[in-house]
Structure 1
Amino acid sequence: MLDLVTPFQLPFMLRPLVLLLVLAVAAGTVGTIVNLRRLEFASDGLTHAVFPGLVIGFVVAGAGGILPGALVAAIVAALVLVAVARRTGTETGVAIVLTACFSLGVVLVSLRSEWAGQMESFFFGSLLTVTDAQLAISVGLVALAVAGIVATWRWQVLRAFDEQAARIAGVPVRGTDVVANVAVALVVVAASAAVGTLLVLAVLIVPAAASRALTRRVVPGALVATGIAALASWLGMAIAFAASSGGVQASPSSIVALTMLAAYLVALAVGAVREGALARRAIA
């Protein structure tokens, strides 16, 4: 039977669980806005945009400079993305920013082949080695991201459903876009220590998508997304520990991401069954 309690009495299991639970709050707030505003591609672009920042941060200050470098790069990319998207369209702007930033990162890494190994944990995550310092930084970044979204929540929702109506209502659309993109950037950097940049999209996108399959109401949906992310994180970590104890070596961050995907599939099935029942009731 899967043990959901004992593993988390170990510090190296408790720290990443706490971080994942904090990220679950971001999944419910920031992730819901990403889903409503169809910012999944923009999130992908911002995930890759941190690449040159982490390389430069590592070159300047070693491992301790990775997160600060990534943070600066992510915020700059978020601001550039808003500016470029206004002129070229969102998808074109994201493609330009993604290509430019990722190409720059590849060029920087190619200058010193030994840097590639140092970047592995940033891309693929290193859940079990999360330190108290990394946890504190990540919690602070998530808090800023969530605070920004909560403070502009009504603007974000109105902007998501009708940009023209938002303008007429006096919503500062560009400022709202900046807040949304910077919030995504902050979560990307905060999650890098835990799930890695290549899996951060699972945190930002999957729980909110699963929630939308269960409810169309925005605030309840955000709460459901938070619950899904938290439960999937808890189960995923417990499964990873059980697998490791049984001699199966698997990436904890990947297992957590797969658990979120499993939750999404379950939510789709439940939503489909419920809609079918409602349709039959309406016909009857």
Structure 2
Amino acid sequence: MDTTLLMEPFRVPYLTRALIELTILGVLCGTVGAFVALRRLEFVADALTHTVFPGVAIGFALQGADGVFEGALIAAGITAGALTLLTRNRRTSDDAALAIVLTAMFSIGVVVVSRSHSYTADLQTFLFGQILYTSRTQIIETAVVAVLCLAVLAASGRELFLRSFDVEAARAAGHRVGALDLALNLVIALTVVAAVRTIGTALVLALLVVPATIGRTLGGRIGPIIAIGVGSAVLCGYLGLTISYTASVDHDLALPTGPTVVLTLVAAYLLALGATGVTRRRGLRASAHAAAVRIPAPPVLPRPTGSP
């Protein structure tokens, strides 16, 4: 196959920047998502995509589009710290803590937006993303956040892995569970901030959850889960961009890029689920056949003399 055909759409500069951004996000979200899946923090990731909203609104109100990233970063840090403190209180359940922080932060954002109607249309792009308008500055900011998050996971990956499966063993080993929870919450928050301007709050959760779910479906250990998650996120980002561009340019069918990427991820998950189902059925049949071959039939006892 001619590789030039595969890269033909990305001769356009804005598509090239979009592909670079999605590749960085694929590596980041595929790695972070594995720890989200192990800790079952999908609801935390969902809450973080909404709790950064007031930071975006305030940052936009104060500095325009240039203040969106900084505002979201501050709001994400506040959310991660608040969640860590509230979940350490034994009288407050994790779900209750999430609900409290989510409703409080999102309500602040709604109040800020309601005070001014001049930028509500611009904030709509924050909900659905503008991947095709990715700038070089955004790529650099995303790369810096990705390097920082991946460095944290590389330095504390074993401790976080132990914390995910046995919190008491982590405490007995001398690890500070509260610090580990805060570190992971901050990494998730920074990942959300890095992705939110590209694919929007309504779609960022899919990039965090679906690749890791594909990894858990096809792989059993943390290494394969991360590798498969990263690979599927990067590949589906490329395919989503290509499908959206081809449909819009060659077939005059307008397909929004962000949702197309997410639907591509969902299709990949369904394929992985179907493949594991087929493999499992074949394995069961092979096991049943092997068992039938190994187990001899019961001997036929001779009929007693004089029996009818």
TM-score with structure 1 length normalisation? 0.97
CA distance in 2, matches of 1:259, 1:169: 42
Q: 1:75 aligns with which of 74, 77, 95?
A: 77
CA distance in 1, matches of 2:287, 2:176: 42
CA distance in 1, matches of 2:120, 2:182: 32
Q: Aligned ranges for residues 1-284 of structure 1 at < 5 Å?
A: 3-87=5-89, 88-245=92-249, 246-284=251-289
CA distance in 2, matches of 1:164, 1:109: 44
Q: Secondary structure at the match of 1:166?
A: helix
CA distance in 2, matches of 1:43, 1:233: 20
2:153 corresponds to which letter in structure 1? I
Paired residues of 1:4 and 1:234 also in contact (CA < 8 A) = no
Q: How far off is 1:28 after superposition?
A: 2.4
Q: How far off is 1:243 after superposition?
A: 1.2
In percent, how many aligned pairs have the same letter? 41
Q: Secondary structure at the match of 2:224?
A: helix
CA distance in 1, matches of 2:149, 2:278: 35
Deviations 1:150-198 (A, max 9, x none): 2111011111111111111222211111111111111111111211111
CA distance in 1, matches of 2:275, 2:94: 33
Report the structure number with the largest CA radius of gyration.
2
Paired residues of 2:30 and 2:207 also in contact (CA < 8 A) = no
CA distance in 1, matches of 2:178, 2:275: 37
CA distance in 1, matches of 2:169, 2:218: 27
Q: How far off is 1:16 after superposition?
A: 1.0
Deviations 1:230-265 (A, max 9, x none): 110000000010011021112101100110111111
Deviations 1:33-54 (A, max 9, x none): 0000000000011111100000
Paired residues of 1:29 and 1:150 also in contact (CA < 8 A) = no
CA distance in 2, matches of 1:40, 1:97: 15
Of residues 22-31 and 68-77 in structure 1, the stretch that sits farther from structure 2 once superposed is 22-31
Runs (5+) with no aligned partner, structure 1: none
1:83 corresponds to which letter in structure 2? L
CA distance in 1, matches of 2:143, 2:199: 14
Paired residues of 1:42 and 1:91 also in contact (CA < 8 A) = no
2:279 corresponds to which letter in structure 1? R
Paired residues of 1:4 and 1:235 also in contact (CA < 8 A) = no
Paired residues of 1:130 and 1:194 also in contact (CA < 8 A) = yes
CA distance in 2, matches of 1:255, 1:129: 16
Report the CA distance shift for 1:95/1:3 in structure 2 as closer, same or farther (over 3 A): farther
Q: Secondary structure at the match of 2:198?
A: coil
- CA RMSD of superposed structures (Å): 1.5
2:275 corresponds to which letter in structure 1? V
CA distance in 2, matches of 1:90, 1:282: 42
Q: How far off is 1:277 after superposition?
A: 2.2
Paired residues of 1:16 and 1:128 also in contact (CA < 8 A) = yes
Paired residues of 2:128 and 2:202 also in contact (CA < 8 A) = yes
Q: Secondary structure at the match of 1:198?
A: helix
Deviations 1:79-99 (A, max 9, x none): 111111112122211111111
Q: How far off is 1:114 after superposition?
A: 2.3
1:26 corresponds to which letter in structure 2? L
Of residues 178-187 and 242-251 in structure 1, the stretch that sits farther from structure 2 once superposed is 242-251
Q: Secondary structure at the match of 1:152?
A: helix
Matched residue pairs, number?
284
Of residues 166-175 and 182-191 in structure 1, the stretch that sits farther from structure 2 once superposed is 166-175
